[in-house]
């Protein structure tokens, strides 16, 4: 008897320390919205993110074409800024999605004199 579950449906999580510049966050959200078909289909994204200059934990939630964001609690004094994201989708290109996110976090770790883009 065959399984009723579609083997192409998968999920994965990214956990990465660091802060994200607001403009990079917008760029990343646009990548998710405009994801080419060959990179898979994202059904759901849930994320808690550390945005540069923002004292609150930024919560991002998307189901298919509907996205919502809100602030959660304040980052604690001395609390590590850890970004956590869970993707659920079908035939997702995990290396592509992972590197796209890691690139926006890494871009913000550099000092201001290296930020002349």
For position 54, what pLDDT does the model report? 92
What is the SS3 assignment for 74? strand
| CA torsion angle 94 9 43 84 (round to 10) | -50
Tokens of 14: 């990214």
pLDDT beneath 70: ranges in the chain: 1-6, 106-117
pTM, to two decimals: 0.81
Which letter does DSSP use for residue 4 in this model? S
For position 73, what pLDDT does the model report? 94
User: 107 Cβ partners below 8 Å, 6+ apart?
Assistant: 21, 24
Tell me: the pLDDT tens digits for 34-58?
A: 899 999 999 999 999 999 999 999 9
The helix-helix angle for 22-33 and 94-109 (nearest 10°) equals 170
Which residue matches tokens 């808690």?
48
């Amino acid at each position: 008897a065959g399984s009723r579950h579609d083997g192409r449906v998968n999920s994965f999580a990214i956990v990465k320390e660091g802060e994200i510049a607001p403009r990079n966050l917008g760029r990343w959200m646009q990548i998710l919205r405009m994801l080419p078909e060959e990179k898979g289909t994202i059904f759901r994204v849930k994320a808690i993110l550390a945005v540069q200059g923002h004292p609150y934990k930024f919560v991002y939630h998307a189901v298919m074409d509907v996205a919502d964001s809100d602030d959660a609690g304040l980052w604690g004094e001395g609390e590590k800024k850890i970004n956590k994201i869970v993707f659920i989708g079908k035939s997702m290109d995990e290396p592509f999605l992972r590197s796209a996110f890691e690139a926006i976090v890494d871009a913000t770790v550099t000092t201001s004199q290296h930020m002349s883009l």
